[in-house]
Homo-oligomer: A and B are copies of this chain.
Amino acid sequence: MKFNPVIEHLKVYEPGKPIELVVREFGIDPKDIVKLASNENPHGCSRKAADAVRNAAHLMYRYPDDTMTALKTGLCDRFGIGSENLIVGAGSDQIIEFACHAKLYGGAKILQSEITFAMYQIYAAQCGAGVIKAPGIAHDLDAMYQLYKEHEPEIIFICAPNNPTGDCLNRVDIENFIERIDHDTLVIVDGAYQEYAAFKNPDKALDPARLIEKFPHVLYLGTFSKAYGLGGMRVGYGIGSVEIVRSLYKLRPPFNVTTLSLIAAEAALEDQAFVETSLADCFEQMARYREFATAHGIETIESYTNFITYLLDGVSDSTHIADALLRQGIIVRDLKGYGLNAIRITIGKADENSRFFDAMQKLIINSGNR
């Protein structure tokens, strides 16, 4: 059977290994597994969200309220935007998918930093688009601007903070960059980890209302998967001009967010105390990761997220380390596939992090580099 020729060359996203897989492959008891691979909130989700879902479990037979009025009202209040500026997706991933299908056709191109969220180029490839990458481990906005002028891409992706490295551009630099981009180029600003960045350093905080007021060509992305602790429920959103949102809406399948996902996100949004506690604890624990790295001669990248990247050049091989940790039930992300000899570790709870440090210390000593 003949298929769309773009399919043949598509790469599939490699997610963090689920606990179920490690149980099956290595016969490790699920309670002994420490998953620090998918940037999930180690505190779980808001109890209010879990309670709301328990109380609504009998409503799973009902199709979702496809107007999403309750959740949209909550998000509009939080960000000071109109509902016509908002679209909710099955994770912010789905908003990226809509945007690619909306803008990429007939030999289109996207522009992104070399090492950034993998889904940008996966969705672009599904649309048959070319991918232009600005080299470097961090977003190099000057290089991106030069490539923009040269290639005239239809979409530019800025990931702030950046996944999988954890670093973050300053708001003023992002705004100055967008200022120079023509209004027919869609600039997607992915703020999946913005709650962490804003907590750590106000210079990194983005205000979606301000962004879309200043720039008609910006689409801001946010998610409930990280700070709100709802990664499993697939709720994200896009904020942009009426024109952009209206176009993306045409590509939204009905009922794209489940009944219980809507209920969970509504409750999670109201429990800001849970988010604040999660953020504070994340950076408290992250200090331990920096201390450990310094003590063992591991270079790190300043992180504005709930994960930290250990650069292992001169220390060990990232694939070796990630595999050895996995055999002990500790799941981290090897970044070799991104072209980095590095591992990305989600900041876990205190005891989870201690287990990582113990195992990692032994591995480094055994590998004989120290």
A305 at the B interface (CB under 8 A): no
Residues A251 and B15 in contact, CB atoms below 8 Å apart: no
One of B7, B63, B250, B251 near A250 (C-beta < 8 A): B7
Minimum CB distance partner of A93 in chain B: B253
Residues A230 and B60 in contact, CB atoms below 8 Å apart: yes
A-B pairs with beta carbons under 8 Å apart, 26 shown: A1-B216, A1-B243, A6-B105, A7-B251, A12-B250, A12-B252, A16-B63, A18-B66, A20-B67, A20-B69, A38-B63, A40-B61, A40-B62, A41-B61, A44-B61, A53-B54, A53-B57, A60-B229, A61-B231, A61-B232, A64-B232, A232-B258, A232-B260, A233-B259, A234-B258, A260-B261
Which residues of A5-35 are within 8 A (CB) of B?
A: 5-7, 10, 12-13, 15-16, 18-21, 24, 35
Q: Give the chain B neighbours of A186 by CB distance below 8 A.
A: 1
Binds B, one of A95-103, A138-146, A309-317: A95-103
Tell me, in angstroms, the Cα distance from A24 to B67 when the chains sit together.
12
Residues A255 and B234 in contact, CB atoms below 8 Å apart: yes
Tell me, in angstroms, the Cα distance from A260 to B52 when the chains sit together.
13
A256 at the B interface (CB under 8 A): yes
- What distance in Å separates the Cβ of A119 from its nearest Cβ neighbour in chain B? 8
Q: Give the chain B neighbours of A65 by CB distance below 8 A.
A: 18-21
Minimum CB distance partner of A259 in chain B: B232
- What distance in Å separates the Cβ of A55 from its nearest Cβ neighbour in chain B? 9
Residues A3 and B103 in contact, CB atoms below 8 Å apart: yes
- What distance in Å separates the Cβ of A73 from its nearest Cβ neighbour in chain B? 11
Q: Give the chain B neighbours of A80 by CB distance below 8 A.
A: none
Minimum CB distance partner of A43 in chain B: B61
Known: A15-B255, A65-B20, A69-B20. A3 touches B247 (CB 8 A): yes
State the 10 A-B residue pairs at the shortest beta-carbon distance, nearest first: A232-B259, A61-B229, A18-B65, A50-B57, A10-B250, A13-B254, A4-B105, A53-B57, A20-B65, A44-B61
One of B12, B119, B184, B233 near A1 (C-beta < 8 A): B184
Q: Give the chain B neighbours of A362 by CB distance below 8 A.
A: none
Residues B233 and A60 in contact, CB atoms below 8 Å apart: yes
- What distance in Å separates the Cβ of A163 from its nearest Cβ neighbour in chain B? 14
Residues A232 and B1 in contact, CB atoms below 8 Å apart: no
Tell me, in angstroms, the Cα distance from A108 to B104 when the chains sit together.
18
A286 at the B interface (CB under 8 A): no
A58 at the B interface (CB under 8 A): yes
A206 at the B interface (CB under 8 A): no
- What distance in Å separates the Cβ of A298 from its nearest Cβ neighbour in chain B? 27
Residues A50 and B58 in contact, CB atoms below 8 Å apart: yes
Known: A53-B53, A61-B45. A251 touches B1 (CB 8 A): no
One of B7, B40, B60 near A63 (C-beta < 8 A): B40
Q: Give the chain B neighbours of A50 by CB distance below 8 A.
A: 57-58, 60
Tell me, in angstroms, the Cα distance from A51 to B57 when the chains sit together.
8
Known: A12-B250, A258-B232. A1 touches B244 (CB 8 A): yes
